[in-house]
């Protein structure tokens, strides 16, 4: 009945002024009609079969001929090319014209997948999923019709895209994803997970199906083989976090369990129509709850909701004099270093702000898989230019036991965002004098409140802001025991204490030209970007070093305990429990380093590019 009804239509697309080029419905009608026709073709009377085949060819495939030879990677064009594959597969025994559509679709899809591996463009996980779901359907059809698995085996479908969904999946047993760009927290990825499990026997994809899709009988349509399910914590082991440099995304996490947390960061060059003005943006999930949030899919009706959903003001970024990024894209992941205990990603969104400032770089530092430091460095044009940080949430905001509402100002420098299962401590560590307020955007109040952090003018065009984020499912907090600015080098120095006996010393040194090693702090001297010392109290309440790390270090001294020198900046992590140095040479040539620890002779090593693990009798 449906096939006969569609055959009587005059066209399978809705907007006449766009023709077949700008309509998505034609693709969906072709996919549906081709699937139905293929299912009951042999049960149709000959006149009915001919009428259905004619409609599929004339109303479905022929209008799609406008896309033969297209290289446009828009998700609508991709869906129409997939429809070509479906229609051609259904008609290949009925008409010789089908071959040209199948060949065109194959050529387009292979080119699309090749380019997606290398492309900096992404429209967010929603549209990545939409395109991939359609292409997986076409790949499966093409493989079954021709016996050629070339599409199914493509690395974008097999490896690249699944990694994004696995790494961006929320912890805590709730299958949600960050709604970066135009996207939703809930996405139906059952098709690509089913294909990945069945075609490539991926154990984490099988875990996802068992965990979240076990009651959906529709999934069985895609599953032919069932691999063993493996929890992502077990599968990824110590490589929990992940950086996606081509699209400018990063995922910093502790795992996928009920007490874990996940921070997602974007500093992307993508400027597609479904992107937002949100470079150097962060969102945070703890125990399955999104505590720092995005507005999600944009509102297309002109007005405050549209301004909020696509503009910087709706995201966790920086405003300058109340203004956000005028440009889409413009960001890039400038650096990334992921090591056990110390993870750093650095985004550069200077181009995103146009003429509003000279530069804006944000470093997200994940320490001891416990807390985050958001270190913002902005070079503005005038000393009176005012940078303002935004942190959005849909949860309740408290200062101690006082519930805050829009219009309130904080009396201290720390707030707690409380969800139903988890919370995050948000504290402004630098600048030393700042104003923190709770606001909501007029006309877009339904998206929730947000915190603003603004520093006082200090006579400098180089602005440094550091925000502490401590996510927790059980209410733990971090105490800022000390913080100071080492004037000579403008180094930010702080001491942080956490339950469990940890005391951390952190130095952040701005990357301005000419900045060199300044005065010591807690016996620590640094010429580099950042260093971290993690002390642990023993039974006698004495502090001993458990871990230490330095980022982009040329020289680093800690009392008489250790001394490090390098002829070029290098990253290093020292783990006293594992008795191991991990040194990362990020240069494109050999570097020479000198290491010395108390009671041991100086070691001189020449290290090629890459990461090196050096045993040390500590």
368 lies in the same domain as 464:
yes
DSSP 348-384: E-GGGGTTS-SEEEEEEEEETTTEEEEEEEEE-SSTT
pLDDT at 21 over 80: no
- CATH number of the domain where residue 291 is located: 2.70.98.70
- Cα 257 to Cα 125, 175, 370, 374, 425: the distances in Å are 22, 12, 14, 24, 20
pLDDT value at residue 22: 63
Q: pLDDT category, 517, cuts 50, 70, 90? A: low
pLDDT at 513 over 70: no
Residues 189, 175: Cα–Cα separation, whole Å: 10
Q: pLDDT category, 355, cuts 50, 70, 90? A: very high
Would you tell me the crossing angle of helices 125-146 and 190-200 to the nearest 10 degrees? 40
DSSP 300-326: -STTHHHHHHHSGGGSSSEEETTB---
The predicted model gives 560-574 an average pLDDT of 93
| Domain carrying residue 516 | 477-618
pLDDT at 76 over 60: yes
Mean pLDDT of the chain: 93
Least confident of 89-103, 133-147, 215-229, 367-381: 215-229
pLDDT value at residue 217: 81
- CATH number of the domain where residue 200 is located: 1.50.10.100
pLDDT value at residue 516: 55
The predicted model gives 361-374 an average pLDDT of 97
Q: pLDDT category, 577, cuts 50, 70, 90? A: confident
354 lies in the same domain as 412:
yes
Q: Which residues of 565-589 are buried (b: 16+ CB within 10 A; e: fewer)?
A: bbeebbbbbbbeeeeebbbbbbeee
Contact present, 21 and 66 (Cβ < 8 Å) = yes
411 lies in the same domain as 487:
no
User: Residues with Cβ < 8 Å from 238, sequence gap 6 or more?
Assistant: 340
SS3 content of the chain, % helix, strand, coil (to 5): 30, 35, 40
The predicted model gives 420-440 an average pLDDT of 96
Q: pLDDT category, 124, cuts 50, 70, 90? A: very high
pLDDT value at residue 499: 86
pLDDT value at residue 617: 60
Residue that terminates a domain, selected from 209, 234, 259: 234
65 lies in the same domain as 108:
yes
DSSP state of 584: E
Query: Cα-flanking dihedrals φ and ψ of residue 229, to 5°?
Result: -85, 135
pLDDT value at residue 219: 79
Please report how many Cα atoms fall inside a 13 Å half-sphere around the Cα of residue 78, on the Cβ side.
23
Where is pLDDT greater, at 518 or 325? 325
- Cα 26 to Cα 6, 33, 80, 273, 437: the distances in Å are 12, 10, 8, 21, 50
488 lies in the same domain as 451:
no
pLDDT tens readout for residues 222-235:
777 889 999 999 99
The predicted model gives 131-144 an average pLDDT of 94
Handedness of CA 449, 468, 424, 127 (dihedral sign): positive
pLDDT value at residue 75: 80
pLDDT value at residue 19: 64
339 lies in the same domain as 312:
yes
Contact present, 158 and 196 (Cβ < 8 Å) = yes
Tokens linked to 360: 């804006």
Query: Cα-flanking dihedrals φ and ψ of residue 291, to 5°?
Result: -95, -35
Residues 502, 102: Cα–Cα separation, whole Å: 62
> Could you tell me the pTM of the whole model?
0.94
How many domains in the chain? 3
Q: pLDDT category, 511, cuts 50, 70, 90? A: confident
418 lies in the same domain as 511:
no
100 lies in the same domain as 214:
yes
148 lies in the same domain as 14:
yes
DSSP state of 108: H
As a whole number of Å, the end-to-end CA separation of the chain is: 78
The predicted model gives 108-115 an average pLDDT of 97
499 lies in the same domain as 587:
yes
378 lies in the same domain as 246:
yes
pLDDT value at residue 225: 83
Place of tokens 């369990």: 257
The predicted model gives 432-458 an average pLDDT of 95
The predicted model gives 90-94 an average pLDDT of 92
121 lies in the same domain as 169:
yes
Q: For residue 252, give the nearest of 376, 389, 346, 393 by alpha carbon.
A: 346
Residues 545, 36: Cα–Cα separation, whole Å: 67
pLDDT value at residue 23: 76
Q: pLDDT category, 376, cuts 50, 70, 90? A: very high
């Amino acid at each position: 009945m449906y096939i006969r009804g569609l055959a009587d239509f005059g066209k399978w697309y809705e907007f006449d002024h766009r023709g077949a080029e700008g309509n998505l419905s034609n693709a969906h009608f072709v996919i549906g009609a081709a699937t139905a026709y293929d299912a009951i073709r042999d049960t149709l009377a000959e006149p009915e079969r001919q009428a259905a085949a004619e409609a599929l060819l004339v109303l479905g495939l022929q209008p799609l001929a406008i896309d033969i030879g297209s290289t446009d990677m828009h998700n609508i064009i991709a869906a129409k090319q997939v429809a070509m594959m479906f229609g051609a597969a259904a008609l290949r025994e009925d008409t010789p014209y089908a071959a040209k559509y199948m060949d065109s679709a194959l050529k387009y899809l292979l080119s699309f997948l090749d380019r997606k591996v290398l492309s900096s463009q992404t429209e967010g996980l929603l549209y990545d999923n939409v395109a991939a779901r359609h292409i997986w359907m076409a790949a499966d059809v093409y493989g079954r019709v021709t016996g050629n698995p070339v599409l199914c085996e493509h690395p974008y479908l097999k490896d690249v895209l699944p990694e994004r969904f696995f790494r961006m999946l929320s912890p805590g047993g709730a299958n949600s994803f960050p709604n970066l760009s135009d996207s939703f927290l809930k996405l139906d990825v059952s098709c690509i997970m089913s294909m990945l499990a069945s075609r490539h026997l991926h154990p984490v994809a099988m875990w996802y199906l068992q965990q979240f899709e076990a009651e959906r009988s529709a999934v069985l349509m895609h599953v032919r083989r069932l691999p063993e399910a493996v929890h992502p914590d077990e599968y990824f082991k110590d490589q929990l976090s992940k950086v996606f440099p081509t699209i400018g995304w990063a995922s910093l996490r502790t795992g996928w369990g009920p007490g874990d947390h996940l921070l997602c960061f974007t500093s992307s060059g993508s400027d597609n129509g479904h992107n937002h003005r949100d470079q150097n943006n962060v969102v945070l999930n703890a125990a399955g709850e999104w505590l720092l949030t995005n507005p999600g899919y944009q509102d297309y009706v002109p007005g405050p909701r549209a301004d909020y959903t696509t503009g910087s003001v709706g995201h966790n970024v920086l405003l300058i004099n109340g203004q956000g990024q005028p440009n889409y894209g413009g960001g890039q992941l400038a650096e990334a270093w992921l090591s056990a205990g110390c993870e750093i990603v650095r985004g550069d969104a200077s181009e995103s702000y146009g003429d509003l400032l000279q530069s804006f770089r944000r470093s997200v530092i994940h320490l001891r898989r416990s807390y985050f430091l958001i270190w913002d460095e902005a070079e503005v044009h005038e000393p009176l230019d005012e940078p303002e940080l935004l942190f959005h949430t849909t949860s309740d905001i408290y200062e101690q036991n006082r519930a805050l509402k829009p219009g309130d100002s904080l009396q201290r420098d720390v707030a707690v965002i409380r969800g139903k299962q988890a919370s995050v401590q948000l504290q402004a560590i630098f600048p030393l004098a700042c104003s923190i307020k709770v606001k909501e955007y007029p006309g877009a109040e339904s998206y929730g409140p947000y915190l603003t952090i603004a520093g006082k003018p200090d006579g400098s065009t180089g602005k440094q802001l550091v925000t502490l984020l401590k996510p927790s499912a059980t209410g733990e907090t971090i105490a800022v025991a000390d913080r100071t600015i080492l004037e000579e080098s403008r180094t930010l120095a702080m001491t942080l204490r956490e339950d469990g006996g940890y005391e951390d010393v952190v130095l952040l040194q701005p990357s301005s030209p000419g900045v060199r090693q300044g005065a010591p702090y807690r016996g620590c001297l640094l010429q580099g970007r950042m260093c971290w010392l993690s002390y642990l109290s023993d039974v006698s309440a004495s502090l001993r070093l458990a871990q230490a790390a330095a980022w982009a270090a040329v020289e680093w001294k800690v009392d008489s305990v250790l001394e490090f020198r390098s002829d070029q900046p290098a990253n290093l992590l020292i783990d006293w429990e594992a008795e191991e140095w991990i040194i990362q040479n990020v240069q494109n040539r050999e570097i020479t380093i000198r290491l010395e620890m108390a009671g041991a002779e100086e070691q001189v090593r020449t290290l090629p590019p890459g990461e090196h693990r050096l045993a040390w009798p500590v």
